[in-house]
Structure 1
Amino acid sequence: MSDVRTRGQVGDGPLSRAAAFVYTLLVVELLLLLTTLPGLVPLVLLGGDASNLPLVAICLVPVGPAVSAALYALRHQRPDPTDLRPAGLFWRAYRANLPGVLRVWVPTLLWLTVIAVNLANLGAATVPAGWAVPLVLVGVGVTLCGANALVVTSLFTFRTRDVARLALYFLVRTPSVPIGNVVLLAAAAALTAVFSEAVVALLAVVLVWAFLRIGDPMIDKIRKEFIG
């Protein structure tokens, strides 16, 4: 009886809930760093030359599965401080989501790499500077669609082509999601420019948590409209 009372007391206080939230963030951050380390180390060492863009894309491949697992762990972690399992949720999602995430993440990186290489070589190709505008717009569209697809495939089980359709559909259906993601990407880019990729890596779980919260309207509509 005393165990039940203690369990309820531990789970009811705002301080214990805040501590549980911080603990979850710290665990997920450590796992994010661990699973992205094979790509982050060479990424930090790479120079800013345009010829390194394909290598940058390769270094970013581990980021997709890691972010996917973090999204799942943060979404499904129970608020009860006596039942904290962020590491178990992370690894379960990492293993289960890996094939599906790579099917949307790798093509997204491939498209963005092609666009970035073309933008970097517009002058050498003697292409009018105005062509940069449609290339940038396509790049933004691919990025936002890829972001939606990453959330969908992390939290739901759909066929890859259905994930792509939902990702495109919710670019229009929930405009707050792509707008929020643009702001989040701009913040991450600013941190990288002012400091370095290492700072972004250290704040990765905060960015992922914000990414999840931004996607809430899309997630809720998918649950109501597409999950029977």
Structure 2
Amino acid sequence: MSAAGAVRRPSRVFGDGPLSRACALVHTLLTIEALLLATLAPGGAGLLLLGADPGNLPLAAVCLVPAGPGLAAALYAVHHRSGDLTELRPARTYLRGLRLNSVAALRIWVPLLAWLTVITYTLTHFAVTGLPGWWAALLAVIGVGSLLWGAHALVLTALFTFRATDTARLAGYFLLRHGRATLGAASLLIVAGAATLWATEVLPLLLAPLLLLSLLHTSRPIITETQEEFTA
């Protein structure tokens, strides 16, 4: 074939190949993991001191307050990650997400945490309540539904700027409208719960970036509809 008839292949830029994108993803997730652990470290230390006594549940909830802003910042950083190995700034993105979303995340996270604490405390002391057994099952279902609502609310808080009431309403609206996204969030909760029961409480935290990446993937219909229907 003559030089004139040869097909010229486009040159590949450094950082554009599949291996580079994989390395960029690993670097991003590890950086987010380290920053999330740093954000949760004070509360984690408090949980270690409290131990597993059910009577300490209110204090444990206080220790978990930083988890809301931390998870929202991690979701923000994972969503805005760069696939270019030469343009990686995951730490800066995480800190930007922490600065932008902390207040909004707390407005959703603190009431949810308080509600879940009441449910968990009631279930752990259910024998002394005198309530019929079906109440325990009902409370468990309400608790799981609250966690799924919280997963949707966390995604909305991390990626969009709404009032807390609007975020709460949208999360409840999407809970039934996008059943596949809700089932995806439920499967991630099952994975996190199984890892806690069969291994250690630390394992879900170590897997948090991967779980959040999966949550973003399953929440894609929610993110798309929110962008198209509820933002200017």
Superposition TM-score tier, normalisation by shorter sequence: over 0.9
Amino acid at match of 1:99: V
Structure with a larger share of its residues in helix:
1
Instruction: Give the counterpart of 2:93 among 76, 89, 92.
Output: 89
Query: Hey, what does 2:83 align to over in structure 1?
Result: 79
Structure-1 separation of matches of 2:205 and 2:104: 24
Query: Hey, what does 1:19 align to over in structure 2?
Result: 23
Instruction: Give the counterpart of 2:219 among 197, 215, 220.
Output: 215
Secondary structure of 1:77's match?
coil
1:167 aligns with 2:171: yes
Larger Rg: 2
Amino acid at match of 2:140: V
Provide the identity percentage.
Answer: 48
Secondary structure of 2:14's match?
helix
Cα distance per residue 1:82-115 (max 9 Å; x no partner): 1111111100110111110000000000000011
Secondary structure of 1:10's match?
coil
Query: Hey, what does 2:108 align to over in structure 1?
Result: 104
Query: Hey, what does 1:35 align to over in structure 2?
Result: 39
Instruction: Give the counterpart of 1:117 among 118, 121, 125.
Output: 121
Equivalent positions of 1:44-193 (< 5 A) are: 44-193=48-197
CA contact (8 A) 1:44 1:197 kept: no
Report the TM-score, using the length of structure 2 for normalisation. 0.91
Structure-2 separation of matches of 1:111 and 1:8: 53
Segment drifting more, 172-181 vs 103-112: 172-181
CA RMSD of aligned residues (A): 1.5
The alpha carbon displacement at 1:78 in A equals: 2.2
Structure-2 separation of matches of 1:55 and 1:28: 27
Query: Hey, what does 1:4 align to over in structure 2?
Result: none
Unaligned runs of 5+ in 2: 1-10
Structure 1 stretches of 4+ moved >4 Å: none
Q: Give the total of aligned pairs.
A: 222
CA contact (8 A) 2:24 2:82 kept: no
Secondary structure of 1:127's match?
coil
Secondary structure of 2:216's match?
helix
CA contact (8 A) 1:44 1:198 kept: no
Segment drifting more, 153-162 vs 49-58: 49-58
Structure-1 separation of matches of 2:111 and 2:164: 12
Structure-2 separation of matches of 1:25 and 1:111: 31
The alpha carbon displacement at 1:80 in A equals: 1.7
